[in-house]
Chains A and B, each alone.
Chain A
Amino acid sequence: MGTATRSQSGASNADYEDAKQDLAEAAGDNDAAKAGEIYFKVILAAQPNGAAKVPAYLAVRYGSEFLVKSHQNGVESATKSVGTSVAKEVVAAGASEAVVEQASREAATRGLANGAEGTDRAFSESAERAMESAMGDIMTEGADALERHRNSE
């Protein structure tokens, strides 16, 4: 996934290029609904499947493990259990960094994160940024981190 490759399934190259143009126009109009529609219906589906989804899965796995163990045994213990210690004066992103490192390390052993090129690396970087953002929101906002974007419920 990411921006470098296209048309592994579904949309043709022409469709993909048209969709990119439409996406840029939607963004230019500040039309988030249209931008989302174009991206999720055309562009995301045109990206390769398979190994590119591994970094996102690893983030879900290690992130879930970190949160549950933090809840059960405390953040410090959970941080050690995923392989990295953090300083006492921890910045919100600091503890999540341990989770990112662990997920990235395993991704690397599968030949995905370090040395991977193009699509896989773009996907891996997005998965890491998403982890930092998700953990940062949870650590700073608590339960409200989820509710803020659930207006439809």
Chain B
Amino acid sequence: MLLNDTEIQNNIDEFVDEHGVEGFIRIYFREYLFQLLNEEIQAATNDIESDSALQLHFSQNVESDQELKEFKEQLRDQCADRADELVANIQEKPELESVFEDADVELLERDDVEDIIRNSMHDIIEEWEET
């Protein structure tokens, strides 16, 4: 989709005004989890060790581009919910308050902040396994 500079600037301004850094991290993790999930589904359905009848079932059940698009949108909904959990866990860290409250993105350059966020990702993924 071709947009001019003004349209892009307006859309970014609108997004940041309304959702801030938190909004970007939510949408990023939504897309990131979707990429991982979609990749895993592709691998699982194309696995040479999997039942060929299963592959046929998959190919027959996804009857149209529209159905596939709707299925992927539903997968994104699943990922959006998980991304919200992930971001909520990150936001709880007091060390990161200024990132979300004041858009202090330079704080993200610090090694200890990187560790906090990566550990938070790890913790929430482990929680998902246990629930």
Q: Are B1 and A140 in contact (CB under 8 A)?
A: yes
Residues of A within 8 A of B (CB): 1-3, 10-11, 20-21, 23-25, 27-30, 32-33, 35-36, 39-45, 49, 53-54, 56-57, 59-61, 63-65, 67-71, 74-76, 88-92, 95, 122-123, 126-127, 129-131, 133-134, 136-143, 145-146, 149-152
Q: Are A134 and B24 in contact (CB under 8 A)?
A: yes
Q: Are B27 and A32 in contact (CB under 8 A)?
A: no
Q: Are B5 and A61 in contact (CB under 8 A)?
A: no
Known contacts A64-B24, A126-B35, A137-B27; 9 additional CB pairs below 8 A are A3-B39, A21-B44, A24-B54, A27-B45, A27-B58, A44-B36, A53-B118, A63-B28, A68-B103
Assuming the A-B contacts A40-B82, A139-B3, are A23 and B44 also in contact, with contact meaning beta carbons closer than 8 angstroms in the complex?
A: yes
Residues of B within 8 A of A (CB): 1-5, 8-19, 21, 23-37, 39-41, 43-45, 47, 50-51, 54-55, 57-58, 61-62, 67, 71, 73-82, 84, 99, 103, 105-106, 108-109, 114, 117-118, 121-122, 125-126, 128-129, 131
The secondary-structure label for the interface of chain B is helix
Residues of chain A lying within 8 A (CB to CB) of residue B81: 152
Name the CB-closest residue of B to A53.
B118
Write the nearest CB–CB distance from B7 to chain A, whole angstroms.
Answer: 8
Assuming the A-B contacts A45-B129, A75-B5, A130-B34, are A145 and B41 also in contact, with contact meaning beta carbons closer than 8 angstroms in the complex?
A: no
Write the nearest CB–CB distance from A72 to chain B, whole angstroms.
Answer: 8
A–B pairs, 12, beta carbons within 8 Å: A27-B41, A60-B24, A60-B108, A60-B117, A67-B15, A67-B24, A74-B9, A75-B12, A92-B8, A134-B27, A137-B31, A138-B11
